[in-house]
Structure formats: structure tokens, C-alpha cells
Amino acid sequence: MTATHQITEPRSESAEPLLRATGVTMRFGGLVAVDSVDLDVHPGEIVGLIGPNGAGKTTFFNCLTGLYKPTSGQVLFNGSVLAPKPRKVVQAGMARTFQNIRLFANMTALENVMVGRYCRTTSGPFTSIIRGPKFRREERETREKSAELLDFVGLTKVSGNLARNLPYGDQRRLEIARALATDPQLLLLDEPTAGMNPQETRQAEELIFKIRDSGLAVVTIEHDMRFIFTLCDRVLCLVQGRPLVLGTPAEVQSDPRVIEAYIGTGAEAEEALQDKGPELVKGPESKGGHDA
Ligand SMILES: Nc1ncnc2c1ncn2[C@@H]1O[C@H](COP(=O)(O)OP(=O)(O)OP(=O)(O)O)[C@@H](O)[C@H]1O
């Protein structure tokens, strides 16, 4: 990893955000899972979403991606409110991965990516059944584009392997390739390194930087603080559904409220601090230093 990953183009504060969430609130009966959360995401930016278990991160993601219609508040993507239908959201340019891997287990890696691409093809059922020239051309282009994406995420060698036989880290990368196949402007990743070993996590960082460098914006939920503070331009910390801090990694990781939200105060916190605190407080040793 080179330090170039840390250099992002200076962004004009007046530039329109790609995504604007305003006052997003989601209630489940009496429970307020997300409470008045604002977030702007600009093109080419990596934004991290952190918070203790149950803080509302996934629910907020689901509001952003149209899986849930917020009880109140608004989500604008490219200045428009999107219909709360996953297909419409994907076609508008937003793609996501899930906390629990959702691949087609009995399809090959290549076929999984091709499925993602079909939201950009136009052949109808009739053309597909008769396999007319338009269908054959789209099928060839879909296959080529999907192979390129497998190469981009480093999975060319396992292109013909069934998804269920891939190692865990490869399955996560395959999910990202499938999301990229939809040609998104914004990629949302829900715990992309969950279950990965340290080497796979470093590879995931590299991949996300590469995705950002290709012009996409990325929003990622993650519990691995080193990953978040290495990767992100800005970080939003939620606690009990409410926004606690939004700032640069340096601001967030040194904010006493964030430390308290994760490990509390008092004697128990002192003990926990010995265990996982240093990582939270210090973050990565250096922002460019994850090339091990
Ligand atoms: N569909 C649902 N119906 C009712 N309650 C829900 C639903 N989804 C989430 N919740 C509740 O909303 C709160 C926020 O959950 P959410 O999964 O968004 O948190 P999270 O920050 O993503 O947690 P984790 O880090 O553990 O994944 C929790 O109290 C959860 O039990």
C-alpha cells in the first residue's frame, strides 16, 4: 500500500452530494432504531458507519438503499427521492452487499457476477427465449464485463468455481464484484471484512481504495476500527440510533464520547481498555502503514 491512497481530490463544499440523508428516522413499533440521522456522501468519498451492536447501522443502510421506507426524513440520490424498491435503487446507481453473504451458491463466480449485470440489459423474455441477435450480443457483453470485474477484484482464477466452494474472503470479494456489475455510483458495504483473517482484511482495504480510485463513492459499516480509520475520509458514529459524532477518522477516534460508547466508563471500562481500547484510541499505526 502506498500513501497515495490517502490523497483524495480536494472537494468543494458547495458541490452537490451524491447522497443526502436528512432527518432519517426508522421506528419498529415503539423502538426508534434510527433517530434523525443526517449524512451527505460526495462522489469519490469513503464514509464509515460505526457504532456498538444494535446502534442502528444496518437499519440506516436499509433506509438508504430503499429496503425500508423511513418513518420520517428523506433520502435523496442525485437530487431525487428514489422509489423504495431495490430494483429501482440499483438502476439509479446504488449497490450494496449484505452482512450475511448472499451469493447464488450453486452458480459459478462468473455467473454470480453476470446476474448483477442483468439489471443493465434490455432483452425481454421473448428475445431471450428465441436467443435473437440482440440477446446474443448482450449476453456476450455481459460475460466480458463480468470477467473484467472478476479480474478487478482478483478472482479470475476461480471464475469457473461454484460460489459455495470459494474461501470466505473470496466470497466477500465476489459479492463486491456482483454489486459493481450493476454500474453503481455509490457502493454500500455492510461489514465487508466480517470473518476475514488479517491478510484478507488488508486485501479488502486495497480493493476498496481501488474502487474509490475508479470514481465511486463508498459507504461502509464495519466493526474493525483499524480498517475504518485506515480507509475512510469521514466516519459517522451512531449510538442507540442517534448520530453521536461525524468527522475525520482522527476526530472520531479521539472523541471521548465514542470511546465511552464502545467501552463505557468506570472499572469495567478500564479493564476493557486494556483489551480492545488501544486499537480504538490509537487506530492504525499510520494511515499509509497497512502494507503488511
Ligand atoms: N425489522 C426489525 N424489526 C424490529 N426491530 C428491528 C428490526 N431491525 C432491527 N431492529 C432493531 O433495531 C435496532 C438496530 O438494529 P440494527 O441491526 O440496525 O443495528 P446495527 O447497528 O446494525 O447492529 P449490529 O452491529 O449488531 O449489526 C436493534 O435494537 C434491533 O433489534
* Planar angle of CA 71, 24, 214, nearest 5 degrees: 130
Q: Which amino acid is at 262?
A: Y
Find the CATH number of the domain harbouring 273.
3.40.50.300
pTM of the model: 0.83
Full pLDDT tens readout for the chain, 292 residues: 333 344 444 454 557 899 999 999 999 999 999 999 999 999 999 999 999 989 999 999 999 988 899 999 999 999 999 887 778 888 899 999 988 888 999 999 999 999 887 765 665 555 555 566 666 777 788 899 999 999 999 999 999 999 999 998 899 999 999 999 999 999 999 999 988 889 999 999 999 999 999 999 999 999 888 899 999 999 999 999 999 999 999 999 888 888 888 766 545 544 544 454 445 544 434 333 333 2
Residues 12 and 134 in one domain: no
Domain end marker among 119, 150, 181: 181
In contact, 103 and 174? CB cutoff 8 Å: yes
Give dist(CA 61, CA 50) in Å, integer: 12
The CA–CA distances, whole Å, from 139 to 111, 133, 247 equal 11, 10, 44
Domain end marker among 181, 205, 222: 181
66: left (phi over 0), alpha (psi -120 to 50) or beta: left
Q: Model ipTM? A: 0.97
Residues 114 and 78 in one domain: no
Residues 43 and 167 in one domain: no
Residues 64 and 6 in one domain: yes
Residues 241 and 287 in one domain: yes
Domain that holds residue 218: 1-93+184-292
**Phi and psi angles of residue 147, each rounded to the nearest 5 degrees, phi first:** -65, -40
Question: Does 100 map to a domain?
Answer: no
Domains contained in the chain, number: 2
Give dist(CA 13, CA 225) in Å, integer: 27
Question: Does 99 map to a domain?
Answer: no
Closest ligand 1 atom to 55 CA: 21
The alpha carbon of 140 and the centre of ligand 1 are apart by a number of angstroms equal to 41
Q: Whose CA is nearest to atom 28 of ligand 1?
A: 54
Residues 82 and 221 in one domain: yes
The alpha carbon of 28 and the centre of ligand 1 are apart by a number of angstroms equal to 9
Residues 188 and 251 in one domain: yes
In contact, 38 and 21? CB cutoff 8 Å: yes
Burial (CB < 10 A; 0-12, 13-18, 19+), residue 191, is buried
Partnered with residue 243 across adjacent β-strands are: 238
Residue ranges lining ligand 1, Cβ < 6 Å: 28, 31, 33, 51, 53-59
Q: Whose CA is nearest to atom 30 of ligand 1?
A: 54
Question: Does 37 map to a domain?
Answer: yes
Domain end marker among 159, 181, 203: 181
